[in-house]
């Protein structure tokens, strides 16, 4: 029988003293304990580190088990993605659970996810649904997948081994719900500056292995005024706001992401399939067209129509939503 997989938790913090104690308790109360918790604190000016140290010490005094605590403080803030990169590179476990500072894990979260990795060696990343809660932990009567409008088509794509194609259209993997193999981190580093860490890990996992989506709410995903990255439901007014927002910065960012992915695809080991490489080339070509659309709206019609006929708006984006954006948004 193979050895049990070891688990590390990569916990990233920044001025999180208000919630991080509860998060750490939920990690230390897992039915399947991690072997270590690696904290990367991004130049906090409050007592985040003190809260973590005290909570861990209190648990250690009352437990016969050992969970190693490794704390590193960045003197200068690195930002979310670079801070997670710092944390995961210091993790020694076979599996690495990404953790925000302000959520709350269900007691069986690690047990449930580790079982998937142990049963399926080809799986590189597992992510799940989450219950949305307010700053006091009260339910917002909504799940993360509901807020993301995760479709049956996307669920089926992941379940049938076609997660990469689905992720070429849009990201639906949230880092706070994600556990990865350490081997994935090694092939994904360095994280491109154009990508958020969880999105990049997801796309590399889908390109070089398998992704599993668990339709279970395994964490409480806390929504509050201090979220660096949170979940929000699009209202009619916010949808209109998207159409009136200037498109220049967003499209430049999407193009940079597509180019960075295209540049890294052939360097990955194992090499992605020819189909995945071809999708990446198509994605980059599509974003070049979108980024170069002219300012006069009438002059955009022909290139947008050409991209629509090629099918790229459906394979590389959100279909008619992106068509409307490209026709309407000001530059």
Q: What is the pLDDT of residues 265-276, one digit of tens each?
A: 989 999 999 999
Q: Rounded to the nearest 10 degrees, what angle do helices 248-265 and 274-291 cross at?
A: 160
First to last CA, the chain: 60
Per-residue pLDDT at 49: 97
> Are 287 and 168 a contacting pair, CB within 8 Å?
no
Both 33 and 155 in one domain: the answer is yes
Residue 263 C-beta-side C-alpha neighbours within 13 Å: 10
Nearest-angstrom CA–CA distance, 100 and 283: 30
Per-residue pLDDT at 192: 96
* Per-residue model confidence as pLDDT tens digits over 25-62: 999 999 999 999 999 999 999 999 999 999 999 999 99
**Whether residue 138 has a cis bond before it, omega within 30° of 0:** no
**Residue 227 pLDDT class (50, 70, 90 cuts):** very low
Kindly tell me if the per-residue pLDDT of 238 is higher than 80: no
Both 203 and 256 in one domain: the answer is no
Strands (E) in the chain, as ranges, are 7-13, 36-42, 68-74, 95-99, 104-105, 123-133, 139-143, 179-181, 210-222
Kindly tell me if the per-residue pLDDT of 121 is higher than 60: yes
Question: Does the residue 2 lie in any domain?
Answer: no
- b/e string for 252-283 if b means 16 or more Cβ within 10 A? eebbbbbbbbbebbeeeeeebeeebbebbebb
Question: Does the residue 228 lie in any domain?
Answer: no
What is the three-class DSSP state of 10?
Answer: strand
Both 196 and 259 in one domain: the answer is no
Kindly tell me if the per-residue pLDDT of 230 is higher than 70: no
Question: Does the residue 227 lie in any domain?
Answer: no
Question: Does the residue 144 lie in any domain?
Answer: yes
> Are 180 and 125 a contacting pair, CB within 8 Å?
yes
Both 29 and 61 in one domain: the answer is yes
Percentage of the chain beyond pLDDT 90 is 91
Kindly tell me if the per-residue pLDDT of 136 is higher than 90: yes
Q: How many domains does the chain have?
A: 2
- b/e string for 197-225 if b means 16 or more Cβ within 10 A? bbbbbbbbbbbbbbbbbbebbbbbbbbee
What is the three-class DSSP state of 2?
Answer: coil
Both 272 and 125 in one domain: the answer is no
C-beta neighbour count of 153 within 10 angstroms: 9
C-beta neighbour count of 105 within 10 angstroms: 23
What is the extent of the structural domain holding 95? 7-222
Last residue of a domain, one of 193, 222, 251: 222
Both 127 and 183 in one domain: the answer is yes
Mean pLDDT of 153-179: 97
Kindly tell me if the per-residue pLDDT of 65 is higher than 50: yes
Q: What are phi and psi of 132, to 5 degrees?
A: -80, 130
Question: Does the residue 214 lie in any domain?
Answer: yes
> Are 84 and 40 a contacting pair, CB within 8 Å?
yes
Both 241 and 218 in one domain: the answer is no
**Residue 236 pLDDT class (50, 70, 90 cuts):** low
Kindly tell me if the per-residue pLDDT of 243 is higher than 80: no
Kindly tell me if the per-residue pLDDT of 234 is higher than 50: no
**Residue 233 pLDDT class (50, 70, 90 cuts):** low
Per-residue pLDDT at 250: 92
Query: Which CATH number characterizes residue 206's domain?
Result: 3.90.550.10
Per-residue pLDDT at 98: 98
**Residue 2 pLDDT class (50, 70, 90 cuts):** low
Both 28 and 157 in one domain: the answer is yes
Give the residue carrying structure tokens 């142990």.
118
Last residue of a domain, one of 195, 222, 249: 222
Both 75 and 207 in one domain: the answer is yes
What is the three-class DSSP state of 173?
Answer: coil
pTM summary value: 0.93
Both 185 and 104 in one domain: the answer is yes
Per-residue pLDDT at 237: 60
Between the alpha carbon of residue 179 and those of residues 14, 87, 213, the distances in Å are: 21, 14, 11
Both 265 and 292 in one domain: the answer is yes
Contacts of residue 21, defined as CB under 8 A and 6 or more positions apart, other chains included, come to 51, 52, 54, 55
Question: Does the residue 177 lie in any domain?
Answer: yes
Last residue of a domain, one of 190, 222, 254: 222
Both 24 and 103 in one domain: the answer is yes
Kindly tell me if the per-residue pLDDT of 70 is higher than 80: yes
> Are 177 and 103 a contacting pair, CB within 8 Å?
no
CA-based Rg of the chain, rounded to a whole angstrom?
A: 21
């Amino acid at each position: 029988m193979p050895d049990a997989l070891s688990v590390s938790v990569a916990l990233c913090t920044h001025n999180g003293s208000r919630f991080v104690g509860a998060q750490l308790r939920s990690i230390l109360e897992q039915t399947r304990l991690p072997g270590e918790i690696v904290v990367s604190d991004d130049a906090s000016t409050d007592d985040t580190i003190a809260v973590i140290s005290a909570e861990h010490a209190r648990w250690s005094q009352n437990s016969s088990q050992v969970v190693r605590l490794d704390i590193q403080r960045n003197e200068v803030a690195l930002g979310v993605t670079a801070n997670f990169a710092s944390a995961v590179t210091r993790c020694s476990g076979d599996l690495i659970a990404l953790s925000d500072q302000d959520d709350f894990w269900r007691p069986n979260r690690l047990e449930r996810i580790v079982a998937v990795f142990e049963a399926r060696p080809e799986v590189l990343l597992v992510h799940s649904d989450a219950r949305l809660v307010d700053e006091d932990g009260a339910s917002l009567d909504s799940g993360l997948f509901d807020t993301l409008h995760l479709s049956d088509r996307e669920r089926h794509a992941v379940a049938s081994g076609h997660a990469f194609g689905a992720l070429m259209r849009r990201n639906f993997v949230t880092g706070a719900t994600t556990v990865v193999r350490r081997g994935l981190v090694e092939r994904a580093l360095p994280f491109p500056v154009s990508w958020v860490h969880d999105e990049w890990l997801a796309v590399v996992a889908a390109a070089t292995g398998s992704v599993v989506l668990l339709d279970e709410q395994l964490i409480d995903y806390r929504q509050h005024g201090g979220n660096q990255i949170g979940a929000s439901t699009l209202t009619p007014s916010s949808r209109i706001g998207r159409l009136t927002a200037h498109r220049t910065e967003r499209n430049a960012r999407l193009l940079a992401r597509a180019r960075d992915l295209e540049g890294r695809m052939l360097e990955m080991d194992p090499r992605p399939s020819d189909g995945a490489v071809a999708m990446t080339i198509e994605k980059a070509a599509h974003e070049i067209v979108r980024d170069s659309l002219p300012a006069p709206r009438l002059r955009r019609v022909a290139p947008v129509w050409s991209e629509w006929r090629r099918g790229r708006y459906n394979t590389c984006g959100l279909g008619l939503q992106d068509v409307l954006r490209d026709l309407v948004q000001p530059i």
